[in-house]
Amino acid sequence: MREAFHDQLDSMFEDLAGICRLVEASVRLSTAALLTGDAEIAERVISADIEIDRARERVEDTAFSLLSLQQPVAGDLRTVVAGLRMVSELERMGDLSVHVAKIARLRVPHLAVPEEVRPTIARMAEVAEDMVTRVSQIITSRDVEAAIALSHADEEMDRLRRTTFTELLSADWSHGVEAAVDIALLGRYLERIADHAVSVANRVVFVVTGQNPAAARP
C-alpha cells in the first residue's frame, strides 16, 4: 500500500515536472514572439495553453485519487496538497505567458517593445525563462539548495522591473502612452511568472524538509 502510494506520488511529481516544461516552452515562445513581433509564434503559445490546462486536470485527478484511496496523513498529506498548489501555480504561469503573447500579437507588424527598453525586457524574459527551467529541474531532483537559490533570481527580476519604470518615466521617453502601458503590463506579467516560480520552488523545499524555506535555510 505505502509503496503503491509513493509510486503514485512520484508519478504526480513527474507530471508536475512535465507541466513545468510546457510552461517553460510557453514562456520562451511568448517572449520570442514579443521580441521578434512574430504573430505565428504568439498564436502557437495561445493555442497550446489548453494542453497545460488538460495536464493540470490530470494531476488534480491523481491527487484526489491519492487522497481518497490512500488517505495519507502528516508529511504525505502535505505533499499531495503541495502538489495541488504547485499545479495551480504552474497553470497560472502558463496563463501569464499567454498574456505576454497577446500583447505581442496586438502590435504586429510592429514590436511592442521600443529599442531603448529592449535590453531590460529581454533580460527579464531571460530571467523568467531561466527560473522556469530551474523549477523543472528542482521538481525532478527535489534539490533544496537549488530551490532556495531561486529567490535570488527573483531579486534580479524586481530590480529589472524598477528599471523599466525609470526608463518609461524618464523625460527622454518618446514612445508615448501605448508603449509605456504595454511595458508596464509586460513587466507585471513577467514579474508574476517569477513570483510563481519562487513559490513552486518553496513548495518543493516544504515537501522535502517539512519546513518553509526561511526555516530550512542552512
User: Which grid coordinates belong to 77?
Assistant: 498529506
Residue 41 or 160 with smaller CB distance to a second copy? 160
Q: What is the dihedral of CA 31, 34, 37, 38, to 10 degrees?
A: 30
Site for a second copy in 133-192 (CB under 8 A): 165, 168-169, 173, 176-178, 180-181, 184-185, 188
User: Which grid coordinates belong to 204?
Assistant: 518543493
Q: Does 107 bind a second copy (CB under 8 A)?
A: no
Identify which of 190, 189, 37 has the alpha carbon closest to the alpha carbon of residue 113.
37
The nearest distance, CB 85 to a second copy, in angstroms, is 7
First to last CA, the chain: 34
DSSP 116: G
| Cα–Cα distance measured from residue 91 to residue 132, given in angstroms and rounded to the nearest whole number | 12
The nearest distance, CB 183 to a second copy, in angstroms, is 8
User: Which grid coordinates belong to 133?
Assistant: 527551467
Q: Cβ distance 181 to 56 under 8 Å?
A: no
Q: Which of 35, 38, 88, 142 binds a second copy (CB under 8 A)?
A: 88
Residue 25 or 160 with smaller CB distance to a second copy? 160
Site for a second copy in 27-86 (CB under 8 A): 64, 67-68, 71, 73-74, 77-78, 81, 84-85
List residues binding a second copy (CB under 8 A): 64, 67-68, 71, 73-74, 77-78, 81, 84-85, 88, 165, 168-169, 173, 176-178, 180-181, 184-185, 188
